[in-house]
Structure 1
Amino acid sequence: MASDDQKSSPAKWPFLVTGFILVVFCGIILAIIFVPNRKVWTNDAYVTAHYATIAPRVPGQVVEVLVDDNQSVKAGQVMARLDPRDYETALTRSRAQLAHDEALVLDAEAAVDRQPSMIEESKAEAARIEAQLVYARQNAQRYHNLAQTGAGSAQERQLTDASMREMEANLRSMKARITAAQDEIPILRARHEAALRTLKIDHAVVRQDELNLSYTEIRAPFDGMVGEKTVQSGNYVSPGAALMALVPMDQLWVMANYRELALRHMRPGQHARIHVDAYDMDLDGIVDSIPPASGAAFAPIAPENATGNFTKIVQRLPVKIVVAPNQPLAKLLRMGFSVETTVDTHLENVVDEQRHSANGITAR
C-alpha cells in the first residue's frame, strides 16, 4: 500500500502546475479586460518646431554669404550681405535734402519772427509822416491866408500845397504797407508750418533709407541651425524670396497624432515618454496642449458629412508634447524625426506624479 501511494504522488504534479498556469492566465485575461490601461501610445508622432524662413527685406545682389548648411548661428549674426551702394547713395541724397529743408525752415521761422518788428517800424514811420503832414497842413493854411491878404506869393502857396499832398500820399502808402504786412503774417506762418511738415517727411525718408541700408545685412533673428540654404553670391534676390531656413534647436517639440478616443483622460501637464527611433533612446516629455480641432477640420477642403453616404472615421488630433528640461540627449533631436510617444494619463499632471512618487518613498 505504501509503495502504491508513493507511485501515485508524482503523477499529481503535472495537474497542479497546469492548474496554476490556467489560474494565472485567467487572471491576466481578466486584468486586461476589467483593469483599464491609462497609458496611451502612438507611433504617428514627429519632431517639429517653429522655424523661420530667412528672406531679404530689400532687393539687391548678394555679394557675400557668411553661413553654410547645418551651421549653428547666434541671434544677430550676419548671414548674408547685399550690395549696399544703391542704398548708400539714396541715404546721401535724402540727408542732403534734409539739410536743405532745414535751412528753409530756419528762413521761414526767421521771416515769421521778423514780421512784427517790421510792422512796428512801419507804424513808427507812419506816425512820423503823420506828424509831418500836420505841419504841412498848418504851413499850407498859413501861406493860403497870406496869399489872400497879398502878403505871400502864389508860388509859396503852391509849394506848401504840393508838400501837403505828398505827405498825405506817403501816409496812405505807409498805412497800406502796414496792412499788407499784417495780412502777410498768417501766410508766413503757413509757409513755416509747411516747411516743418516737409522736414518731417525728410526725416522719415532718411530713417527709411537708413533702414534699407541696414537691411542689406541679413541677420539671424534667433539662435538656431541653418538648413535649406539656396542662396549663393551673385544671386539677385527680391523681398520675401527664401534664402535659407533657420531652426531653433532649443525649441523643438513633438507633435503626436492621437486617436480621439485616446484623449479621454489626457490633460496638459501629464508625463510622456518619447522614444526616438533614430537613436533608439527614450526622453521624458510633458503634454503641453491639446488642439481645439482635428487635422481634418483645418483641411482646405473639409469633409462634408451631411451629404451622401456617411462612413465614420476615427479622427486624430495633434497633441503637442514638449521635451522636459535638463536632458543632455535632447540635443540630438532633429526636426522631422519619427518618434513614438506614450502618455501616462493615470495622474493629472507631472506635479501629481512627483507627489505620488514622494509619498511612495515616504511609505517605504
Structure 2
Amino acid sequence: MINLRRDFHRHPELSLQERRTAGVIEQELERFEISHTRIGATGVLGILRGTQSGSGVVALRADIDALPIQETNDVEYRSQTDGIMHACGHDAHTASLLGAAKVLSQNRDRFGGELRFLFQPAEETGKGAPDFINAGALDGAERILGLHSAPDLPLGTIGLTPGLNNAAVDHFRILVHGKAAHVSTPQLGADALYAASQIVVAIQGLVARRSSPVEPVLLGVGKFAAGTTYNAVAEYAELEGTTRTISQETRLQVREWIDQTAEQIAAISGAEARVIWSDITSALINDPQVSREAAEVAKGLGDHIQVVTNRPLSLGGDNFAEYQRFVPGCYAYIGTANTDLPSTLNSLHNGNFDLDENALVLGAGLYVGYALWWLGRQEKP
C-alpha cells in the first residue's frame, strides 16, 4: 500500500483528469481478479462477489483526485507535476481501498453477497459522486463506508462521530456589469469595480447581522477580478466565493440574501449583478446506527486503537454526503499525525502536508473489517 500511495503521490492528477490514476486502479483490480468498469471518464467501480451463501451489498468509497497546490515537501516521493499535489490524502485513501480490495479478494470464501469499490474522481470540485449514483452503483446497497485522513487526530485514532460531521458547501460567482468611461468622467459610466467592492463588504456583513449567532455560517470571497486599465471606469467585475452551512433552511436563506444584496448594491451604482450558484455538496451526516457498527469494528482492530465519537464539526465539505442521501453510511476520520514526523502535523490543503503511512493499514483494516462483519451477519438491523 505504501508503494501505491507513493506512486499516486508522485503522479497527482486534478479533478476529472485522473486518467493515469484510474489506469493504475484498474491494473490492481485485475491482479486481484475483481471485475471493474469505468464510471464517466475517470471513475472506477470494482465489484467483488463472495462465494458463501447469503446476500447483501456493501459499498466502500475512496476519492482519487489531487489539488492545484505546489508541493514544498522535500521527500523522495514528492509530486513530479508542478502546481499539483495530493494535499488532502486522497492518494492514501485510494491505496487503502486497494489494499482492502486485495485482502477481501483473498477472502471471498468468507462472505456472501457483493462488495462494491467506488474509486471516485473530482471530490474536490463537488463532482464524481452523482455519476456513480446515476450509474446505479448504489442500487441495492445496504451500507456505505468512506474514510478521510485527519491530521488533527494522532495515529491510531479513528473519528466516528454520529450525526452532523461536515457542512454543506456551495460555490458562487457574482458577475457585475457596469458601463465603461474615462476615469476623468466617472459620471458617464457605472463602475463595476466599485460596485463589486461594496458587494464583498456587504455580503460579509450578512454573517454577522443576518444569520443566527448560534448556528455556524461561513461566507468567504477568494477571487476578485475587474478592470482592464488604470485610467478607465471598469465595465466588468467578477467575484468567486463559497458558503458553508449546516442546515438546508439556512443554506437556501443565505443564497437568497446574497442574491438580493448583490443585485441591490449593483443597482445603486448604476450597474447590474448576476449570481451563479453551484452545488458542491450537502451536509455530511453520519447515520447513528452505522457509526456505532463501525466503531465496534474499529475497536476490534486492536487494543491500541482509540475511537473518538465527538470530533468537532468541520466546515469543510465532502460529497460522500451525496451517497448518504440514498444509503445509510458512515464517514470515518483516520488519524495521520505523528509528533515525530513534523510534516504530518500540517493541515490539509497545505504544500507541506504529509501523513504517517502507518495509517494506511488502519484505513484498510476498517474497510475490510466492516465489510466482512456486515456481509457475515445472519440478521441485519
| TM-score range relative to shorter protein | under 0.3
TM-score by length of 1: 0.21
The structure with the largest strand share of the pair is 2
Which one scores higher on RCO, CA 8 angstroms, separation ≥ 6?
1
The structure with the largest helix share of the pair is 1
Mark the structure with the bigger radius of gyration: 1
